[in-house]
Amino acid sequence: MKEVKKDIFEVEVELEPYEQELKDSFENAEPMIGDEFEKMKSILEEGAANYLKKDKTISLRLTSRDVHELKKRADEEGIPYQTLITSVLRKYLSDELIEKKQLQQILQMQADIAAEKPKPKKKPVKKPISKTRATASHHQPRKAA
């Protein structure tokens, strides 16, 4: 039988098998203390340091104008210009950097879609028929034969 849990809205829901496994694992885990904790902490810290470790130096030839613009932009961001270069490269390599032309195309497509949306049609307002018009149309004199 699956365990039933209450969500944040106090509604009972059944745990999926993977949820149950996570719950059991969490509940049965013993806290790390002393040497065991310190060993795991150092392993995780070393892994994090190695993941972000910059171990390669490169040289770039840039125009004076580009370096000036980089330094100006980095100053606006409040970071060193080398950090800005690294950040831009990282964004480019992870496909997070978007070119101005692409952004303009996306914005244009959104504007086109917004312009194509049909505007809600107004229902025709029926004008009330005045008493004089109503009686006049219903009581027309008969033509003499």
Query: Rounded CA gap, 92 and 87, in Å?
Result: 9
Q: Residue 2 pLDDT > 60, yes or no?
A: no
6 band by pLDDT with thresholds 50, 70 and 90 = low
- Asked if 42 contacts 35 with a C-beta cutoff of 8 angstroms, the reply is no
Query: Rounded CA gap, 55 and 45, in Å?
Result: 17
Is the pTM value of this prediction over 0.75? no
pLDDT reported for residue 69: 96
What is the DSSP-derived secondary structure letter of residue 85? H
Phi, psi (degrees; rounded to nearest 5) at 99: -75, 150
Query: Rounded CA gap, 53 and 56, in Å?
Result: 9
Tokens of 112: 């086109």
Give the SS3 label for residue 138: helix
| Mean pLDDT across 41-61 | 82
| Winning range, highest mean pLDDT, from 2-6, 26-30, 41-45 | 41-45
pLDDT tens for 78-128 read 999 999 998 899 888 888 888 888 888 989 988 888 888 766 666 666 666
72 band by pLDDT with thresholds 50, 70 and 90 = very high
CA proximity to 88, closest of 101, 104, 69 = 69
Query: Rounded CA gap, 30 and 75, in Å?
Result: 49
Query: Rounded CA gap, 41 and 34, in Å?
Result: 11
Q: Residue 140 pLDDT > 80, yes or no?
A: no
Q: Residue 70 pLDDT > 60, yes or no?
A: yes
Q: Which residue in the block uniquely carries the two structure tokens 């840039």?
A: 62
